[in-house]
Structure formats: structure tokens, C-alpha cells
């Protein structure tokens, strides 16, 4: 009777090597697909956040109050309109909401932004990017938008997970929304702090994904508002990031 031969040691080693390569390729492909899928989901979430802000801004600005019973004024008081130069408010521009000595981003430093402090007057407000007035069913409301970050320990993204870590490190921010009811008690058309009642205060409208929020009032028109929103999304490979920019131009009703 002929004896059946088994696999030799070399054949087994070759088979195991081929199997290991196939398993590695399968896991590598799965990891790449998972990373790309996660990146696409993150990108879609960021785009949805940006669309939410722009849609909300457009809707509210379309209802901007340009006059009251007591006096007339432009419904948008920040940025302050100028017929000689574009008025720009944001992280950069003619008026920045950062403190007078903001940290200068350095390679790998990941230094956080330091914001100014808001006050009630357009001349002194160093925190608000956009502020305007709308007519509600029960009166006039003051609407404010700015950028902010959650406090440490309250959901803030740690520096290790900021979307850009090469050359310059940008801290991602949230867009914050404030809504106050204005009761002009002395009927002088001037907004005094005692005449404002907070309805919503510093409510996040987006996740901590925004890297720039700029509002421009062009010198060529006092009823046009230009909005620039930017966010950074990490690439699917985990290295580098992609900048997403959304721009809107809104004409106020007269």
C-alpha cells in the first residue's frame, strides 16, 4: 500500500506567509475604507453645521429691523458700516475679536485663541462678530453671533485632536448665538444694557469645527452683509487636513 505524503515544512511556511499577507491586505483595506468613511461622515457633519449657520443667518437678517417708532437706525450695528472702507470683523480683519495680545500660532505649539470681552456698545464691543435687530411678534430682539470654545473639561477638543498641526495650529471653535429682547423704556432709540433681557445666551450653533467666521460690510453698500465660514477636516489618511469654505452674500430689506 502506497503511503500518502503530507505537506513539507517549507510548503507550510510558504502557505502561512501567503495567508498572512492576504490577512494583512484585508485588514489594511478595511482600515482605509473605515478611515475614508469616517472622514466623509465628519465632512458631511461639518458641512451641515456650516449650512445651518448660514441658513439661520439668512433667515434672521431678512427680518432685520431698520427702524423703530422712536427713531431710525440701521438694523445691523456690528460691523459698523463705513462708506470709505470695508468693515470686517472676525478672527482677522479691521476689527478682530481676539484679545489685544493673542497668541501667535507656532509649529506644533497648538496655542489656543484668547478672545476679547463683550460690552453693550458698538464702539467698545471686542467680542461680537455680527449683531443686528429683528422684529418678533412681541417686540424687537437683538441677535448676536460670535466664536467661542467649550471650557476645559466641558467638551473642549484637546490640542492633540486639532485638525491642523503643521506650520500653524488653529484651534477649532463653535459659532455662538445670543438672542436678547429689547424694551426701549425711555423711547430714545438707544440700546441700554438695562433694556435688554437675555432669551438665549451663547448657545452653540455648531460643533467645535469652525476655524474662521468673518463678517464683511462692503463700503459700496450699507445693506449688504457678506459671510465667510471656514472649517478644517482631517483627511482620511489621518495626515493633513482639508479646508472647507462657505461664502454667502445677504441683501437686507429696506
At residue 178, the pLDDT reads 93
**pLDDT for 227:** 94
Domain boundaries, the chain: 12-251
DSSP letter at 160 equals G
Which of 173, 176, 107, 166 minimizes the C-alpha distance to 144? 176
Q: How many CB atoms lie under 10 A from the CB of residue 15?
A: 11
Q: What does the alpha-carbon distance between residue 47 and residue 231 come to, in Å, rounded to a whole number?
A: 9
| d(C-alpha 112, C-alpha 102), whole Å | 9
One digit per residue, the tens of pLDDT, for the chain of length 254 reads: 555 566 677 777 887 888 888 888 777 776 666 666 666 777 888 889 999 999 999 999 988 876 655 555 668 888 988 889 999 998 876 788 888 666 665 555 666 788 888 887 777 888 899 999 888 778 888 999 999 888 766 667 766 667 655 545 567 889 999 999 988 777 777 777 788 888 999 999 998 888 889 999 999 988 899 999 988 777 666 566 778 899 999 988 76
Rounded to whole angstroms, how far apart are CA atoms 188 and 181? Answer: 16
Note if the pTM is more than 0.85: no
Amino acid at each position: 500500500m502506497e503511503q500518502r505524503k503530507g505537506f513539507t515544512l517549507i510548503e507550510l511556511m510558504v502557505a502561512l506567509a501567503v495567508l498572512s499577507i492576504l490577512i494583512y491586505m484585508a485588514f489594511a483595506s478595511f482600515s482605509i475604507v473605515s478611515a475614508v468613511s469616517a472622514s466623509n461622515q465628519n465632512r458631511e457633519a461639518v458641512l451641515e453645521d456650516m449650512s445651518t449657520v448660514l441658513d439661520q443667518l439668512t433667515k434672521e437678517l431678512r427680518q432685520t429691523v431698520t427702524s423703530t417708532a422712536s427713531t431710525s437706525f440701521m438694523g445691523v450695528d456690528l460691523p459698523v458700516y463705513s462708506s470709505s472702507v470695508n468693515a470686517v470683523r472676525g478672527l482677522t480683519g479691521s476689527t478682530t475679536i481676539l484679545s489685544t495680545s493673542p497668541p501667535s500660532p507656532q509649529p506644533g505649539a497648538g496655542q489656543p485663541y484668547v478672545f476679547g470681552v463683550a460690552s453693550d456698545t458698538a464702539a467698545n464691543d471686542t467680542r461680537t462678530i455680527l449683531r443686528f435687530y429683528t422684529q418678533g411678534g412681541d417686540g424687537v430682539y437683538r441677535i448676536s453671533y460670535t466664536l467661542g470654545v467649550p471650557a476645559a473639561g466641558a467638551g473642549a477638543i484637546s490640542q492633540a485632536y486639532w485638525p491642523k498641526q503643521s506650520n500653524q495650529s488653529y484651534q477649532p471653535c463653535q459659532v455662538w448665538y445670543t438672542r436678547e429682547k429689547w424694551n426701549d423704556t425711555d423711547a430714545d432709540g438707544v440700546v441700554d444694557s438695562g433694556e435688554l433681557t437675555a432669551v438665549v445666551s451663547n448657545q452653540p450653533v455648531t460643533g467645535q469645527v469652525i476655524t474662521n467666521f468673518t463678517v464683511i460690510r462692503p463700503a459700496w453698500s450699507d445693506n449688504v452683509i457678506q459671510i465667510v465660514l471656514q472649517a478644517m477636516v482631517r483627511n482620511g489618511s489621518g495626515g493633513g487636513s482639508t479646508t472647507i469654505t462657505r461664502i454667502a452674500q445677504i441683501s437686507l430689506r429696506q
